[in-house]
Chain A
Amino acid sequence: MGVLAFVTLAQLSFSSNTLATNNETELVKVALISEAISAPKDLGIIWVGLHQKLQPNWHTYWRYAGDSGLPTKLKWETFKNVEVGKIHWPLPDIIRAGPLVNYGYENETLLLIPLTVKKKGPINLKAVAEWLVCREICIPQRKVLSLNLPEGNGQINPVNASLFKKFRRLVPEELHWPSKVYSIGNQITLIITMNMDELNSIDALHVFPGIDGLIENGEIQKFSKNKRNIIINMKAGYAIEEGLKFFEGMINIKRSHNESLNNRSYRIKKLPLLKR
């Protein structure tokens, strides 16, 4: 009965208006892929990824989806020889729908996942992926995925190497500059301290909140610089009013004159919201 109810619901969800004529499974091609062609010879970390290839104008979501939408989820089976880590999310696109702002992926993404190999031998992975794919309308989808790596020497798979390289570069690193966040009135102000050269190299930046209601996603972020700091002013979201005490998110920095550092993102781990 439970299964029957589920199937019915799924079908009804999928039969949503204009899409009835499309082959909906093709809106996004989803696969579990590995950076290595085989299991490694030595114990340690290897990387796999959930690859999503989307039809034009459709998108899936980042870990915080924004004003609507839902992040992609992976439910892993448990494995004896590997420990599955958390998703490392690459920089999302900012997707606007009328007045709403979402954070997600258009065209293609690779959600990177580290595996800690604890025991030698072949690696057989299985997971259920659930995601929401939207254009103007949204369609929830899910797929059972598996990935099998034979025993071997863990050589890089040449087919996947560039994909891993491209998206790993878009995953944020830890923010390594001193930073503070103030919550004053209806403003959230992030201050990051850098040296002059670093400051001057920055062309543009954008803050991605990691929590709902931290900032108003659709409002303009105002940046300025002084001798030592970048100052980003954002409009506070509802959660501040409800007593949220910390900031969490990511900042993306564009440095068009520095190719190796252009379009880098930095994870901002929990920072207390200061009242000054």
Chain B
Amino acid sequence: MRFKYNIIFLMCFVTNLLFVSPVTASPSLGSPAPQFKGIDSNGNKVSLSDFQGKIVILEWTNHDCPYVRRQYMTGNMQMVQVKARDMGVVWITVISSAPGTQGYVNKRQANKLTSSRKALPSHVVMDPSGVIGKLYGARTTPHMYILDKKGILVYKGAIDDKPTSWGKIDAKTKNYVLDALTELMAGNIITHAATQPYGCSVKYGS
């Protein structure tokens, strides 16, 4: 009798196995962030190792996701980008939408989005295969990561503490990325180093 149930259990595993190809677990805080190489929207090769000695912010995006739209339409994301730039931070926007899914753009469209939204990324990395996204366990847009000057992951999670696509971003909103960046620059411990990212799912192809 027990044997029979075990088979049912086993069948559950097999079915699960067929459907599951999990996002690689997100990298650990305090560990070196995973190395990656990619092509940016200007056709240039970008390697994380190019930016050693600099703070790097990774931003997963999908311009048609309402949560991303809210960030850019309110000017909030650009405000963070300006402050980050002034602190000498390298800002890498990553697009992991698979071809044919929401947020997928070609290089020209990516550049057009940057200029029309007055965004200030150092690079927009094209990741249609989702390899970089999965390497970082990126699951939402936006999903944010901060790497310190040694390439150690020091923040991962949401852009702020208001998981909504509605309304203005007011003074009561806590911008986790900006707070973490400020604490990092001051040499302080980051108060909220891992938060729950919110938004649309990253549109991986598989």
Chain B nearest Cβ from A62, distance in angstroms: 14
- Given A6-B167, A136-B102, A204-B12, do A100 and B194 touch, yes or no (CB 8 Å)? no
Q: Which residue of B lies closest to A221 (CB)?
A: B16
Beta-carbon contacts of A192-220 to B below 8 Å, as 1s and 0s?
Answer: 00000000101110000000110011111
Provide the residues of chain A in CB contact with B74, threshold 8 Å: 9
The one of B5, B140, B156, B204 that contacts A99, using a Cβ cutoff of 8 Å:
B204
Say yes or no for B26: interface residue by CB 8 A criterion: yes
Segment from B65-73, B108-116, B177-185 that makes contact with A: B65-73
Contact B8 A204, beta carbon cutoff 8 Å: yes
Say yes or no for A155: interface residue by CB 8 A criterion: no
Contact B163 A70, beta carbon cutoff 8 Å: yes
Say yes or no for A142: interface residue by CB 8 A criterion: yes
Beta-carbon contacts of B115-159 to A below 8 Å, as 1s and 0s?
Answer: 000000000000000100010010110000000000000001000
Provide the residues of chain B in CB contact with A102, threshold 8 Å: 201
The one of B1, B164, B193 that contacts A242, using a Cβ cutoff of 8 Å:
B193
Contact B166 A99, beta carbon cutoff 8 Å: no
- Given A70-B163, A98-B206, A218-B23, do A13 and B66 touch, yes or no (CB 8 Å)? yes
Chain B nearest Cβ from A43, distance in angstroms: 36
The one of B156, B199, B206 that contacts A68, using a Cβ cutoff of 8 Å:
B199
- Find residues 57-105 in chain B having any chain A CB closer than 8 Å to their own CB: 64-66, 69-70, 73-74, 98, 101-102
Contact B1 A12, beta carbon cutoff 8 Å: no
Contact A5 B23, beta carbon cutoff 8 Å: no
Q: Which residue of B lies closest to A102 (CB)?
A: B201
Beta-carbon contacts of B1-21 to A below 8 Å, as 1s and 0s?
Answer: 110010011001100110111
Contact A200 B5, beta carbon cutoff 8 Å: yes
Say yes or no for A222: interface residue by CB 8 A criterion: yes
Chain B nearest Cβ from A103, distance in angstroms: 13
| B: interface residue count bin | 35 or more
Contact A68 B168, beta carbon cutoff 8 Å: no
Contact B9 A204, beta carbon cutoff 8 Å: yes
Provide the residues of chain B in CB contact with A130, threshold 8 Å: 164, 166
Count of A-B contacts judged by CB separation below 8 Å? 140
Alpha-carbon distance A221/B193, docked complex (angstroms):
28
The one of A9, A138, A216 that contacts B200, using a Cβ cutoff of 8 Å:
A138
* Interface SS of chain B: loop
Contact A9 B73, beta carbon cutoff 8 Å: yes
Alpha-carbon distance A2/B25, docked complex (angstroms):
40
* Interface SS of chain A: mixed
Chain B nearest Cβ from A179, distance in angstroms: 19
Contact B140 A67, beta carbon cutoff 8 Å: yes
- Given A16-B66, A17-B102, A213-B196, do A219 and B201 touch, yes or no (CB 8 Å)? no
Say yes or no for B22: interface residue by CB 8 A criterion: yes
Alpha-carbon distance A6/B168, docked complex (angstroms):
7
Contact A222 B166, beta carbon cutoff 8 Å: no
Chain B nearest Cβ from A216, distance in angstroms: 6
Say yes or no for A79: interface residue by CB 8 A criterion: no
- Given A100-B201, A140-B164, do A218 and B65 touch, yes or no (CB 8 Å)? no
Chain A nearest Cβ from B176, distance in angstroms: 14
Chain A nearest Cβ from B11, distance in angstroms: 9
The one of A5, A100, A241 that contacts B168, using a Cβ cutoff of 8 Å:
A5
Listed A/B pairs (14) with beta-carbon separation below 8 Å:
A6-B168, A9-B73, A13-B165, A17-B64, A96-B20, A98-B206, A100-B201, A132-B165, A136-B101, A140-B166, A203-B8, A235-B25, A238-B137, A242-B194
Closest 10 CB pairs of A and B: A218-B22, A98-B204, A68-B201, A212-B196, A13-B66, A67-B139, A99-B23, A140-B165, A68-B140, A138-B200
Chain B residues with CB under 8 Å of chain A are: 1-2, 5, 8-9, 12-13, 16-17, 19-23, 25-26, 28-29, 64-66, 69-70, 73-74, 98, 101-102, 130, 134, 137, 139-140, 156, 163-168, 193-194, 196-206
